Structure 1
């Protein structure tokens, strides 16, 4: 079950308990999203697991409250890599490339993930992740390799999932 304990990086901070991407929404809109995310299983390093509650929210009207890139991230969290990809591949920003790279990393296309992370360039989230998890995320390429190793061997899966969860939260705040 993910917790919003890592919801801010140097590129996006707030003093609320909710992440900034939810704080601007009406409570009646934000609360179901917050509850569904907290009830979810921590996302895997690969495809899935599918989160039916998030899928239903994403198919509803309240999903229009989010930017396209936030919806891309929410589709990743819901376990639907194809829907995430259809959004992120059309966004030319560093954040669009970031979501695109995460999606390819999760689908196991590690070389393509590295390509998209190179297109991100020097992003504060990448340096913040390296500062927070120096033993796991020295840079985006190294983390892609670490995830590939974790998927192949089953070693450090939970640690990589935690880095990925922090990455997701921070990227949602700036998307």
Structure 2
């Protein structure tokens, strides 16, 4: 799936079949459902899940919690916009 196809799928009511957990979390966030995105992300126990979890807490405005999750992901908190980070994470996982 391309990034453009992923973004286009946000017009659907549910994530496309076969999306990994990390991409499902990003899909729900792209739909504007932070809570569902967080529910999915917190069940992903690896560095990718930590990266998404960090992004979601940054978006929430909880920078200290975000910093913890970026550290667990082995990443630094980015200086990019939230929209740019969402696209970067999504593109990296597609």
Is the TM-score greater than 0.5? yes
Secondary structure at 2:53 match in 1: helix
- The aligned counterpart of 1:57 is 14
CA contact (8 A) 1:97 1:119 kept: yes
What is the alpha-carbon distance in structure 1 between the residues aligned to residue 44 and residue 86 of structure 2? 22
> Within 5 A, what are the aligned runs for 1:86-125?
86-121=39-74
The one-character-per-residue Cα deviations of 1:108-159 (angstroms, maximum 9, x if unpaired) are 11111110000001xxxx5xxxxxxxxxxxxx23x2xx5xxxxxxxxxxxx6
Aligned pair in 2 of structure 1 residues 112, 161: CA closer, same or farther (>3 Å)? closer
Shift of 1:78: 1.0
Shift of 1:107: 1.0
Shift of 1:75: 0.8
- 5+ long unaligned stretches in structure 1: 1-21, 24-32, 40-50, 127-139, 147-158
CA contact (8 A) 1:95 1:171 kept: no
Secondary structure at 1:95 match in 2: helix
- Give the TM-score normalised by the residue count of structure 2: 0.78
CA contact (8 A) 1:73 1:172 kept: no
- The aligned counterpart of 1:67 is 20
- Whether 1:172 aligns to 2:93 is yes
- The aligned counterpart of 2:84 is 163
The alignment yields a C-alpha RMSD, in angstroms, of 2.6
The one-character-per-residue Cα deviations of 1:26-53 (angstroms, maximum 9, x if unpaired) are xxxxxxx82x7259xxxxxxxxxxx6x2
- 5+ long unaligned stretches in structure 2: none
- Give the TM-score normalised by the residue count of structure 1: 0.46
CA contact (8 A) 2:26 2:90 kept: no
- How many residues of Structure 1 are paired with residues of Structure 2 in the alignment? 93
